[in-house]
């Protein structure tokens, strides 16, 4: 009998592309990428494979979440310290997945 996979995530993920800067502190940008999915607890980010911070390292994230109403469109900027949880191979040549956990969950009011 096959074992079931258990999803231990506390926050619902949303497939949403957000431009994101991964920084070492407030000044030095380590990588620019785009989210593959995002939740109030963290994100999976596609970044150039040559720019992967080490697992366990602490980084600063700056990203913008798209917001829209019937009459407007805007980007809401968020900043958060985060920890690199894992690296993940991607099909996209030259890019790798970077799983990040926010230091504290964010209330981004994401909708599915």
Residues 82-108 have pLDDT tens digits of 999 999 999 999 999 999 999 999 999
Residue 61 near residue 101 (C-beta atoms within 8 A): no
- Phi and psi, residue 49, nearest 5°: -60, -25
Nearest CA among 79, 81, 89, 84 for reference residue 99: 84
| pLDDT digit string, tens, across residues 24-83 | 876 789 999 999 999 999 999 999 999 899 999 999 999 999 988 888 899 999 999 999
Is a pLDDT exceeding 90 seen at residue 12? Answer: no
Chain centroid offset of residue 2 CA:
31
Question: Model confidence at 8, in pLDDT bands (50, 70, 90)?
Answer: low
For the chain, the helix, strand and coil percentages under 3-state DSSP, each to the nearest 5:
5, 55, 40
pLDDT at 68: 83
């Amino acid at each position: 009998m096959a074992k079931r996979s258990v999803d231990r995530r506390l926050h619902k993920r949303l497939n949403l592309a957000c431009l994101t800067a991964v920084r070492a502190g407030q000044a030095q940008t380590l990588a620019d990428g785009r989210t593959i999915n995002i939740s109030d607890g963290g994100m999976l980010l596609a970044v150039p494979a040559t720019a992967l911070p080490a697992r366990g390292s602490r980084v600063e994230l700056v990203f913008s979440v798209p917001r829209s109403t019937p009459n407007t469109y805007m980007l809401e900027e968020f900043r958060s310290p985060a920890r690199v949880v894992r690296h993940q191979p991607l099909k996209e040549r030259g890019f790798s997945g970077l799983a990040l956990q926010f230091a504290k969950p964010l209330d981004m009011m994401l909708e599915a």
